[in-house]
Structure 1
Amino acid sequence: MSFNGPFGYGWMLNYYMRLHQIQGGDVVIVSGDGRKIQYTFNGTIYLPPAGRFETLVKNPDDSWTLTQAQGEQYQFDADGKLVAIKDRNNNTITLVYDTGQQPYYGKSKFAQDPLNSVVIGSDYRLVQIVDTGGRTIDLTYNAAGLLDKIIDGSKEAAFTYDPATNDLLSVTKPATPQFPSGVAKSFEYENHNVKRIKDARNQYFVENFYDALGRVERQNLGGSDITFDYSVVDQVIETDRKGFQNVYTFNAAGNMVRKEEKTNGLRLTDPASFVTTYVYNADSLKTSETFPRGNGAKYVYDSANPNPRSRGNLLQLRRKTDMAAADNTINDIVTVMTYEPLFNQINTIIDPKGNATAYTYDHELNVGHPKHGTKGDLIFIDQPAVAAGTPVTELAYNSFGQVTESIDPNGNVTQYAYDPVTGYLTDIYQDPASINAHTHFTYDSFGSLDVVTDANNHATDYDYDALGWLNRVTNPLGFVTRHTYDANGNIIKTERQADTLATAWQTTEFSYDILNKLKTVKDPLNRVTTYNYDNNENLASVVDAENNTTGYVYDERDLLFTVTDANTPAGVTTYDYDLNGNLAKITDANGNPTAYTYDLFDQLDTTQYANLSSSNFDYDKNSNLTRHTTPSGKPIEYAYDALNRLTAKNFSLTPGLNTTYAYDVGGQLTDANNSASNMHFNYDALNRIDGTTQTLNATPYTLDYSYQNNGNLSQMIYPSAKVIDYTHDPNDRLDLVKEGGATLVDYDYDLLDRRTFKTIATSPQQQATYQFDIANQLASLTNTILPGTNISTHAYPVYDAAGNRKQYDRTFQTNPLETINYGYNDIYELTSVTGAQTNSYDYDLAGNREMANGLTYVSNNLNQYSNVGGTAYSYDNNGNLISDGTNAYTYDELNHLLVFSNGITNASYQYDAFDRRVSKTVNGTATYFIYDGDEVIAEYNSSGGLEAEYVYGDQLDEVLTMGRGGNSYFYFYDGLGSVSEITDTIGAVVENYTYDAYGNPSVVNSTINNRYRFTGREFDEESGLYHYNRRTYSSELGRFAQRDPMDYEGGMNPYEYAYNSPANFVDPDGELPILVLIPLAYAAFEVGLSALDAYSTGSTLLDPCVSGGEKLTSAGLFLVGALAPGGGYSTGAKVTKSSLKRVKRLITNLSKPDKNPGLSQEKFNQLKKIVEKTGGKVRVDLKGVKGTGVNPHAQVEGLGPRIKSRHIWLQKGVQ
């Protein structure tokens, strides 16, 4: 039917549903997208068509009720108008109509006179939509009876039509000061089919061309064409905008049964096409999918259930290695689900290993139970029993179905309060009986998040324009971030207040292409980075502000094919994939391949390097990694509990490395033990670590933590009973560090959250002064003894347009001005150092040195240096440097350096369960290290005597003070974060340090036993190497001694340090280089995120249709990341002393494939489908994991949604 109604020809409103009873007694419902759904009357009941899991009942008053699977009801009056939508908590949207009638036109089998081809029926006009809280949206109509306006308070959306055809011509959103006429999208037609669409930026971004049957045969999208060939029945041949073909085959019900992705000769090894096939049941539910490798999945539904509302429930998901083979319980991976019968919500999930999670709802409780009800609210979640007990989560709700209380398995309580009228979340109380961390939310009249007041009573204010776009964020100190948008709603300018008078602003500008993809970013210094895309909207190139281009090419499946860097000659990295699209090979710019194979569950099976050495991986049925055989042939075995948490790592050839992990019933890690260290964690009621006990050499060392209500660390008590207090300003920036109640260090910041002063409260005071340019680049760092005696000055007066340091000027108390100049190639590898230092470096295409200061380097096909200056270097099978001609090195299976020897000095090292080095013994003298997170806070000798204590600031690897031998020492740094000077309590310089670009120090043997040097990392005097947490770094070679444990995530050269750009990057964990200070690209990205976060989070919190769990998760994530002064993420380069940082490495390690592999993407997709059956949603933390692809952590969110009333959409009806 071509519907010509009040919303224009062929356009439908989502609330515009109509019920018609036709001849014979059957009923047809026209849905909000124009589809006709016919319910067959069998004389007793109305049977839904295949694929519709709902029941239709005619009421005694001739009204109708359509009930969907999970209890949502659509109510129609006797005239067939949709008059109400109710959820199972009785939250209601009421639809109000006028009494006049508006004709619609066109042939319809609903007509009383089927021969009449003009006026065939009549309809009432929808004039108002009212939600449970009484909020209204009004609809008005023009003289022709067509929708004229949708009015939400003072906001309006206006519609215009072609008077001759009734085609919708334009939709105009509300006016704002920036857009006084509003923003409009317009449409052009060809025989009522949309021909062209012009967006609010006045661009025709799409044009359709139709065949004689009204099907789109060509679409020009953003300037390039997609074509569709319908010449074969039930088949569509699509030629995409890059000229690649896909062939789709459909069954009679319109379901795609075959997808063929044709290749085009980009890779000689590719087949002619990649084919995926699908099978469906009578309800059009997919019952199997077979991937190109022949593996796939089967789905079993409750199709035989007599209740139509239950027939769509997924009962079983079976993953198979061979879809042609018979089902096999041993080989297949099977997940089983059951459901409660009233609302078809999931009752149990039994995972492939037989572990069951049970969900209990209010109506399943005994009538006498205080939480018994009839609304289907989820009350209990019982997870599989583990060593600590059975984890049970308990929830409570208000009458609207919103979560009011959650009690986690440890008994920790969180309460939630809502506005009684709007249903918006207003308050979160964490541990209300004791800590009572209270966060408060307010909203504007349109439901946008207005003010968030954190648990420290610090408020962040959000302002929006009439379009609902976030245009202003005011932080707790009253400073402002502003956002400006183009007419399509893209942020085109972000300004951060830079002075107290609001006359100076830090401005970043953005532009977009015709399809609203980011095109350029102009930083506050007017330096422009440009992004280009191929015809399929994949990123094709990035042109930086130095006009250097990195290019990307994609294959027929839009998988990355090549990356070409900006160097001369260019380095090209190539990517190949298997039939299922898994990465099969990476070939670096030197032509060295790394190959990957996968089992038939698409889990990584082997990694083979260019020398044919390999790693092998095995998994259990829950896709947990159970065995990793390293290239050296040594196995590492992993064990898990019923919640898939890592409980043990076993090393059959090195039992001393065996490690165990334990958790409390709520899932918090409590113990991690191996032969070197026992580590125990305690938690408060907000699940923050409030104490640790680290046992080394049979001696326990305890750390205690206290927090402010908003999560900022407020106190740390050392094992020696030293008390360190921390205070923060309203922007959550570290303000004071106190020792024993007396101020130790005082911090000051500018309005852009950049540190301006660090003042050490000695007598006389000592101070570090920081100056930045408007783009957050450090201009100078001056270290002084107040009132003005210079300790050192580090100035960076010249940066290139890409943000690389070109000049470094430094002065010291005893040295005059020294100038060092840096030169780079086109990919910003350091090639020359001139001035006060003279160095030169040449690299091959993969980033290996070929020449450095006249010394020749030779690399093998693993990018290892096999020869340096005529001296042969050798490596073990795991890729660790074991000999450099002078020194010998030994490693464990986890590639930790265990032993160093040079014939004179012998050193051995031990590591805990989190890869932290906890002891070193040099020529028989042992030192033990106590950690706060990943920072060493104390050193003890083998007799348990205290040797040294350290206090840290809020920057990475920033030691503030060292106490050793009864003396206190204070650290000053250069602009790279390297230790420059150490002073005593009167400001006298005890030691000072300089370095070359790669960190070779001027002082090798410290007279005060200072262990920290280049980039703030530990320098081992016994070996001349640096300890970078997960790896050992040689400043002489300018690279690491071990492969990157993140493999290629930090770059294609697994030994390279800081992208060979050591003046600009640091690598504090030895895993991933980061810029020294806030990079401009990141700053631009983060301010964009601040607007997105505030907008999307606000929408989630205020939306009464969103479930309680979604609100809570959104609020929690928002509070973690978005309350920074710029409105979100504006302190991106700052690492604070929060519990998040404290467990960062612990969590990171446990989520790595050789630590605690998570679900594969395939596994996650299955779980997502399962959980979605509950009516909840899945929140996913996708962490890149080598070996399994991703590590999603999914949780079922709170159920009991309230109904939407502010989300109305028009869409072109089904033709």
Structure 2
Amino acid sequence: MNSKNMNMIKLWWLPVFAMAWIILPTDSSYCSEAHYAYDDLGQLTAVVDPLSRRTEFTYDGMGNVSTIKDPENNTTTFTYEATYNRLATITDALSPANVTTFSYNDTARTTTITDPENKQTVIQYNTAGQPTSITDPLTHVTSFGYDAVGNLATTTDALGNVTTRYYDTVSRLPHLVDPRGALTRFSYDDVNRVTAIQDAMGGLTRFTYDYNGNLLTVTDAKNQTTAYTYDEMDRLKTRTDALSRTESYVYDKNGNLTTFTDRKSQQATFTYDALNRRTGATYPDSSVAFGYDAIGRLTSVSDSVGGNITWTYDTVSNGHHPRVQEATTPGTVTVEYDEIGRRLKLSATGQTDVTYTYDKNSRLKTVTQGSQTVTLAYDDAGRRTSLTYPNGVVTSYGYDNANRLLSIDHIKTPTTIEALTYQNDAAGNRIKLTRANAAASLIPIAVSSNSYDVANQQTQFNGVTQTFDANGNLTNDGTKTYTWDARNRLTAISGPSLSASFVYDGLGRRTSKTINSATTGFWYDGADVLAELAGTTPSATYIRSLSIDEPFIRKQSGGDEFYQTDVLGSTLALTDGTGTAQTTYTYEPFGKTTKTGASTNSFQYTGREDDGTGLSYYRSRYYHPGFQRFMGEDPIGFRGGDPNFYTYVSNNPMNRIDPRGEAIQLLTPDTYVDLSFIAYDLFQLAIDGRKNREENIFALGADVAGALTPGVTGLGLGVRAAKSADRINDAVKRAEDFLGKNPRVITNQHGDKIFLSEDGTKRMQFHINKTHPHESPHVHMDEKINGDWVKSGPIYPGGVPRR
């Protein structure tokens, strides 16, 4: 048998032993072997992967999976109720006491979910089987109403705020009204594609498509158009911006991007191995090589400018928990995981180990390094209620019944270091902040005039001319000159009393900055800085949570500093070992900062790095708080959530953050409900057996779409009620076409979801909690051939490949 890339696939089947061997490909350098075992009923009982790791399955008399034992000998157990053969309990591999329990009504609908902490969520339904309310463990109720044909018409939060949806005769959503009465309008073509969105301010964004459903043009509210063309395989061929500057894409026969030519006519080329894994990238000024192990895990990245990174993976068979080790020039960082994939320990060369503990619901409970422990506590609804530091400072959080944050208090008894009070409007926007010990917000300086071109480049700021290169990067702001590499990364700044340069590794992480001859190196734990370096010696190290941009403690020779932050993650105060504030910060709404105190801490506005150059480093891009916008375009374009590629969080800095400089994060109560629906659909896909699979996979797609469209909550409920799959995004249809109608869902150690086809030979991997900072959120559609996974290239939302 030959695969599409002309690799020979070898398959052996021994019916006597009900076993199979699969080897891919014939090129010995990529040869992998996997084994599968089945029982007399054809049920898969064991899988041995190309690394000889064995996973075993057992079944009950109804054919339901009873246990799954992973390669580390950790067993997860499932039981089922007798009436409907629905999932009754899940017992995780950690302890027989860690049980999640489900109950059902007389129509086999899930009515309660009881977590391992014995906290219960209750779901009620109408006679059509649609959820009418969800009651959380604190008895806060979110309610849902439906129109005559079953579309979700209203969502009412626990405070009585109502979001209303109006539908046309074919159940499309033309009008959406948020709790403030603000109206968003949607228009559609004859095949139900969105052709226009009019926001509450009257701004109209328009879309056109070709006959295959590919997006041809996006025209924003200023009538500025971005255009796309596609090849005969519906792959993106060109993108032309509103200034008529074009970038182009070329692919090989397997659909891998092989050549990208940017708007400066710089060409990047990419190579792949027989399994379609990217092995090399060559740019006009540098090159990168990638290595993998037998199951596709990244083992090395070698950057001609940024140096080498290697990864090794270890298993419990060697006498300890699974471990992943990353080695770079400063040393090694090793992360150890427990039986259910939670981080247990971080070990770094020359540093004391950091350990982590969790409650029964896998919420982070403590972070400890040496004698210092940070303790976190939560309420029954899973909201963080307190954070206790080893210097005695306690941070407390208060919420309303709609899960909106109302207060943050930083107290070292009896002293209030800082106290914040927030006020929200009906739609969950923060409209007022009161700060006890400092000005809540500074007022930005007045700007006489700004000018912009049709590509939204700021050509004048306060009367000063600014210039950009053809890729949209700011090259001169009137006083400073900026230099960029072929990967659109800022490499140098020059100006009055300033000379700066920057170096990055093959994952796009900044590994050093030099400001006026003073060089600081950076050593990473994933996307976060683990240590700042003076030469090869740490000058400061960090104890962090598992969330991005949340440092707890900065350890340095002059004494430890403890971070007290606001709702955005901005540092308000740094306290010393006695709990006394030594340095404080006050911010304008867009982040321009005033500091009082002598600390050299750079993690300030939204937890990002202030370089002292007037810029803040937001990983994929640099942000200019004075200009209130990014220095270059969003590298993921429209997928970042704004038709203007330069704006900072859609000019809504009180409610949104952008830790990677790529995609806005907005966690309003409405989005919390969306995420709850997404979790519900994922959960149902995982437990429903053969029931309602088609319904839930389409509903999932609708809920994801709802989470990305402000105010559109619980769209999947309408889909589930009407079962109108034809009005869901075409990408969801393609997912079902690829996976079949009975996929199941698993979660990897990073918390990302993997949809697996019923026969276990196809999967869609949703990479959202990214391991490496160079990756944008994306999907891989993989197929298992001869025991090994043949990976697609990354598929980014909107179909536009990353450079």
TM-score bin (small chain): 0.7 to 0.9
CA distance in 1, matches of 2:57, 2:180: 52
Give the match's secondary structure for 1:497: coil
Q: Which residue in the other structure is 1:150 paired with?
A: none
Q: Which residue in the other structure is 1:970 paired with?
A: 562
CA distance in 1, matches of 2:269, 2:41: 49
Whether contact under 8 Å (2:258, 2:270) holds in the other structure is: yes
CA distance in 1, matches of 2:93, 2:219: 51
Say if 1:1094 and 1:1047 are closer, same or farther in 2 by CA, change over 3 A: closer
C-alpha deviation, 1:1121, in angstroms: 6.6
1:438 maps to which of 59, 75, 82:
75
Q: Deviations over 1:934-977 (max 9, x none)?
A: 000012222x1221111111333111011122521111001221
Task: Determine which structure has more spread, i.e. the larger CA radius of gyration.
Answer: 1
Say if 1:801 and 1:1140 are closer, same or farther in 2 by CA, change over 3 A: closer
Say if 1:546 and 1:1103 are closer, same or farther in 2 by CA, change over 3 A: closer
Q: Which residue in the other structure is 1:788 paired with?
A: 414
The amino acid across from 2:366 in the alignment is: L
Say if 1:385 and 1:716 are closer, same or farther in 2 by CA, change over 3 A: farther
C-alpha deviation, 1:889, in angstroms: 0.6
Q: Which residue in the other structure is 1:711 paired with?
A: 341
C-alpha deviation, 1:556, in angstroms: 2.1
Give the match's secondary structure for 1:1184: coil
Q: Which residue in the other structure is 2:248 paired with?
A: 616
CA distance in 2, matches of 1:1121, 1:717: 21
Say if 1:666 and 1:1179 are closer, same or farther in 2 by CA, change over 3 A: closer
Q: Which residue in the other structure is 2:702 paired with?
A: none
CA distance in 1, matches of 2:741, 2:209: 39
C-alpha deviation, 1:1073, in angstroms: 0.9
CA distance in 2, matches of 1:1182, 1:701: 30
Q: Deviations over 1:512-533 (max 9, x none)?
A: 2233222211111111111222
Q: Which residue in the other structure is 1:533 paired with?
A: 167
Q: Which residue in the other structure is 1:730 paired with?
A: 360
Asked if residue 805 in structure 1 is aligned to residue 457 in structure 2, the reply is no
Q: Which residue in the other structure is 1:474 paired with?
A: 114
1:552 maps to which of 180, 186, 199:
186
Q: Which residue in the other structure is 2:486 paired with?
A: 893
1:240-251 → structure 2 map (5 Å cutoff): none
The amino acid across from 2:661 in the alignment is: G
1:19-38 → structure 2 map (5 Å cutoff): none
Q: Which residue in the other structure is 1:1028 paired with?
A: 618
Whether contact under 8 Å (2:770, 2:776) holds in the other structure is: no
Structure 2: give runs of 5+ residues left out of the alignment.
694-738, 754-766
Identical columns (%): 30
1:583-732 → structure 2 map (5 Å cutoff): 583-651=215-283, 653-654=284-285, 657-674=286-303, 675-685=305-315, 690-695=323-328, 699-732=329-362
Whether contact under 8 Å (1:1090, 1:1122) holds in the other structure is: no
Asked if residue 1184 in structure 1 is aligned to residue 796 in structure 2, the reply is yes
Give the match's secondary structure for 1:1096: helix
1:810-889 → structure 2 map (5 Å cutoff): 810-812=435-437, 815=438, 818=439, 837-838=442-443, 853-889=446-482
Give the match's secondary structure for 2:149: coil
The amino acid across from 1:680 in the alignment is: T
Q: Deviations over 1:198-253 (max 9, x none)?
A: xxxxxxxxxxxxxxxxxxxxxxxxxxxxxxxxxxxxxxxxxxxxxxxxxxxxxxxx
2:93 maps to which of 455, 466, 473:
455
C-alpha deviation, 1:900, in angstroms: 1.1
Say if 1:1065 and 1:919 are closer, same or farther in 2 by CA, change over 3 A: same
Asked if residue 777 in structure 1 is aligned to residue 404 in structure 2, the reply is yes
Asked if residue 768 in structure 1 is aligned to residue 395 in structure 2, the reply is yes
Whether contact under 8 Å (1:552, 1:563) holds in the other structure is: yes
Say if 1:952 and 1:596 are closer, same or farther in 2 by CA, change over 3 A: same
Whether contact under 8 Å (2:399, 2:407) holds in the other structure is: yes
Q: Deviations over 1:73-129 (max 9, x none)?
A: xxxxxxxxxxxxxxxxxxxxxxxxxxxxxxxxxxxxxxxxxxxxxxxxxxxxxxxxx
Q: Which residue in the other structure is 2:710 paired with?
A: none
The number of residues matched between the two structures is 735
2:21 maps to which of 380, 387, 397:
380
Say if 1:411 and 1:761 are closer, same or farther in 2 by CA, change over 3 A: same
Whether contact under 8 Å (1:424, 1:1103) holds in the other structure is: no
1:408 maps to which of 45, 49, 63:
49
The amino acid across from 2:652 in the alignment is: S
Say if 1:888 and 1:387 are closer, same or farther in 2 by CA, change over 3 A: farther
The amino acid across from 2:607 in the alignment is: G
Whether contact under 8 Å (1:1093, 1:1122) holds in the other structure is: no
CA distance in 1, matches of 2:478, 2:419: 39
The amino acid across from 1:673 in the alignment is: S
Say if 1:549 and 1:358 are closer, same or farther in 2 by CA, change over 3 A: farther
1:152-551 → structure 2 map (5 Å cutoff): 348-351=1-4, 353-363=5-15, 372-373=17-18, 379-384=20-25, 389-419=30-60, 421-431=61-71, 435-445=72-82, 446-457=84-95, 458-498=98-138, 505-551=139-185
C-alpha deviation, 1:609, in angstroms: 0.8
The amino acid across from 1:538 in the alignment is: R
TM-score (norm 2): 0.86
CA distance in 2, matches of 1:1117, 1:937: 26
Say if 1:905 and 1:1146 are closer, same or farther in 2 by CA, change over 3 A: closer
CA distance in 1, matches of 2:476, 2:327: 34
Taking only aligned residues, the RMSD between alpha carbons, in angstroms, comes to: 3.0
1:722-1121 → structure 2 map (5 Å cutoff): 722-740=352-370, 742-762=371-391, 765-785=392-412, 787-796=413-422, 798-812=423-437, 815=438, 818=439, 837-838=442-443, 853-942=446-535, 944-1003=536-595, 1007-1021=598-612, 1023-1049=613-639, 1050-1075=641-666, 1078-1100=667-689, 1114=744, 1116-1117=746-747
Say if 1:1148 and 1:436 are closer, same or farther in 2 by CA, change over 3 A: farther
Whether contact under 8 Å (2:299, 2:311) holds in the other structure is: yes
Whether contact under 8 Å (2:442, 2:586) holds in the other structure is: no
C-alpha deviation, 1:583, in angstroms: 1.1
C-alpha deviation, 1:921, in angstroms: 1.7
C-alpha deviation, 1:912, in angstroms: 1.4
Whether contact under 8 Å (2:205, 2:218) holds in the other structure is: yes
Give the match's secondary structure for 1:382: strand
CA distance in 2, matches of 1:682, 1:1012: 30
TM-score (norm 1): 0.58
CA distance in 2, matches of 1:1091, 1:415: 27
Q: Which residue in the other structure is 1:1136 paired with?
A: none
1:1114-1193 → structure 2 map (5 Å cutoff): 1114=744, 1116-1117=746-747, 1141=769, 1143=771, 1145=773, 1148=776, 1183-1185=795-797, 1187-1188=799-800
Q: Deviations over 1:1017-1050 (max 9, x none)?
A: 01111x1110001010011111101100110112
C-alpha deviation, 1:743, in angstroms: 4.3
Say if 1:904 and 1:837 are closer, same or farther in 2 by CA, change over 3 A: closer
Structure 1: give runs of 5+ residues left out of the alignment.
1-347, 364-370, 499-504, 821-835, 840-851, 1124-1138, 1153-1157, 1192-1215
Q: Deviations over 1:661-683 (max 9, x none)?
A: 10001111111110213111122
Whether contact under 8 Å (1:1097, 1:1118) holds in the other structure is: no
The amino acid across from 1:925 in the alignment is: A
The amino acid across from 2:160 in the alignment is: N
Whether contact under 8 Å (1:470, 1:1091) holds in the other structure is: no
Give the match's secondary structure for 1:993: strand
CA distance in 2, matches of 1:896, 1:386: 37
The amino acid across from 1:1059 in the alignment is: S
Say if 1:1180 and 1:600 are closer, same or farther in 2 by CA, change over 3 A: closer
